Amino acid sequence: MKFGGTSVADIDRIRNVARHVKREVDAGNQVAVIVSAMSGKTNELVGWCSQASPLHDAREYDAVVASGEQVTSGLLALTLQHMGVQARSWQGWQIPILTSQAHGSARIEGIDGSEIVKRFTEREEVAVVAGFQGLHKDTGRITTLGRGGSDTSAVAIAAAIGADRCDIYTDVDGVYTTDPRIVPRAKKLDKVSFEEMLEMASLGAKVLQVRSVELAMVQGVRLFVRSSFDDPDNPTEGTLICDEEEIVEQQVVTGIAYSKDEAQITLRRVADKPGVAAGIFVPLAESNINVDMIIQVVSNDAHTTDLTFTVPSAEYARAVKILEDARDVIGYEQLEGATDVVKISAIGIGMRSHAGVASAAFKALAEKGINIRAITTSEIKFSLLIDKDYTELAVRTLHSLYGLDKAA
């Protein structure tokens, strides 16, 4: 069972979490619980690090930001004990959860779950594990897994102890066909395949950390996304994230995602010759800027071409600077940029076997007068870059087009 920051935001909510845990223990289950820091806590800790030293030592940053989970794991263990449930807290280094040395975004390399499992049987003890943190063995230092990393901790622990299921409790009661704040008629999905969830998570649905879904897919951990705000004695089912074989009735499109964290860059009149794309994208990659959509226009004069691509909006200024600095090397006439754009995506494994899925969207958006700036497609999704002002209209249009609106 994993509980996110809003679920453990104060002592009352931690008590509510403990009731969820007690229900599972009373039902005869052996339980490991992974907790996040209280909501807002990690942001506060990150802020303190920047104030103390703008260019901070990443090892000390991890020592500071890992502390939020130390608090909630101890508090939940205390609360469980108070309810008569055997429990103890585990910090990442105590298990240990071994990670790479990439402080601030470490990767889990191995977990020895045997002591936790032993205590399940010998002491009927619930393990309350601090999410988000691990240990780099050679240096003996605390690491963290990147923002939202407790989801990944939970999946990794589930795999390490051979759990039957991994329940991610959060502030929504499942995965929806799209953001219900934009489309009130969005439906809760019963099941979503790993591949689809991976796309949804990377394309802007913020329910799960992308890496946790990757790991669950590789390890075959069945994930349930469900609400911690349900009555602990009468919880609802949530959404199961599982292998696509488990999903019998497959929709062509399962969900519509959107991401406002995109910016567009266009280079006009770039020389049309071998090596130019490398000249543009290698420096961006070397600066760790993740380029997403790329469009190159076929040149009409055989000498120059236009190239358009997107970068995360947080990296926009940096990307523009790099390209301006390399202007003479790349050789382009003009750089244009736009940050008032949004990427809308439709996801569904049914797209593999259906033609005309994307073209239906082009037609529907055209009828609403929405201009498409860029398009990318893959086996199970397509993404469209449009003006930000049309976000709601475009999401609603596609949601209805693919029959995802819930019956009124």
What residues line the site for ligand ASP (CB under 6 A)? 4-5, 36-37, 42, 68, 131-132, 147-151
CA atoms of 350 and 111, how far apart (whole Å): 36
159 touches, from ligand ASP, Mg ion, none (C-beta below 5 to 8 Å by class): none
Nearer CB in complex with Mg ion: 37/116 = 37
Q: 219, 192, 220, 184: which is closest to 208 by C-alpha? A: 192
Q: Smallest distance, Å, CB 40 to Mg ion?
A: 12
CA distances 406 to 12, 39, 186, 253, 358, Å, are: 34, 31, 6, 14, 22
- Residues that contact Mg ion, how many (by CB under 5 A): 2
Q: How far is the CB of 171 from ligand ASP (least distance, A)?
A: 12
Q: Which is nearer to Mg ion, 4 or 238 (CB)?
A: 4
Q: Which residue has the tokens 């979490």?
A: 17
**Nearer to ligand ASP among residue 132 and residue 382 (C-beta):** 132
The distance of closest approach from Cβ of residue 152 to ligand ASP in the complex, given in angstroms and rounded to an integer, is 8
Which of 63, 64, 13, 57 has the alpha carbon at shortest distance from 38? Answer: 13
Amino acid at 248: V
- Give the nearer residue to ligand ASP in terms of CB position, either 221 or 346: 221
Binding test (CB under 5 A) with Mg ion, winner from 68, 134, 148, 149: 148
Residues 344, 154, 37: CA angle, nearest 5 degrees: 85
Residue 37 interacts, among Mg ion, ligand ASP, none and using kind-specific CB cut-offs from 5 to 8 Å, with: ligand ASP
In angstroms, what is the minimal distance from the CB of 207 to Mg ion? Answer: 8
β partners of residue 241: 192, 223
The residue among 131 and 235 lying less far from ligand ASP, judged by its C-beta, is: 131
CB of 407 to ligand ASP, least distance (A): 35
DSSP, res 244:
G
Query: Which residues lie across from 32 on neighbouring strands?
Result: 127
Q: How far is the CB of 150 from Mg ion (least distance, A)?
A: 6
Task: Retrieve residue 21's tokens.
Answer: 């845990």
DSSP string, 269-306: EEE-STTHHHHHHHHHHHTT-----EEEPPPSSSSEEE
Q: Which stretch binds Mg ion (CB under 5 A): 80-88, 148-156, 180-188, 238-246?
A: 148-156
Contact partner, 235, from ligand ASP, Mg ion, none, Cβ < 5-8 Å per class: none
The 10 Å Cβ neighbour count of residue 244 is 14
Backbone φ and ψ for 189, nearest 5 degrees, come out as: -90, 140
**Which residue, 352, 350, 340, 344, is CA-closest to 382?**
344
Tell me how far, at minimum, the Cβ of 145 lies from ligand ASP, in Å: 8
CB of 166 to Mg ion, least distance (A): 14
Residue 4 near Mg ion by CB under 5 A: yes
- Judged by beta carbon, residue 9 or residue 346, the one nearer ligand ASP is 9
What amino acid occupies position 22? Answer: K
113 binds, among ligand ASP, Mg ion, none (CB under 5 to 8 A by kind): none
d(CA 277, CA 101): 33
Length of the chain: 408
- Who's near 118: CB < 8 A, 6+ residues apart? none
Angle of helix 150-160 relative to helix 210-219, nearest 10 degrees, comes to 10
Selection from ligand ASP, Mg ion, none that 238 binds (CB < 5 to 8 A by kind) is: none
Task: Select from 105-113, 119-127, 145-153, 378-386 the region that touches Mg ion (CB under 5 A).
Answer: 145-153
Binding mask 91-110 for Mg ion (x = CB under 5 A): --------------------
Which of ligand ASP, Mg ion, none lies near 93, with the C-beta cut-off 5 to 8 A by kind?
Answer: none
Residue closer to Mg ion (CB basis): 69 or 262: 69
Q: Which stretch binds Mg ion (CB under 5 A): 2-10, 16-24, 174-182, 306-314?
A: 2-10
Judged by beta carbon, residue 208 or residue 276, the one nearer ligand ASP is: 208
Choose the contact partner of 204 out of ligand ASP, Mg ion, none; CB within 5 to 8 A by kind. Answer: none
Between CA 342 and CA 350, with CA 344 as vertex, the angle to 5 degrees is 165
68 touching Mg ion, by CB under 5 A: no
- Quick check: 265 and 218 in contact, CB under 8 A? no
192 forms beta bridges with 241
Place of tokens 């998570």: 201
Q: List interacting residues with Mg ion (CB under 5 A).
A: 4, 148
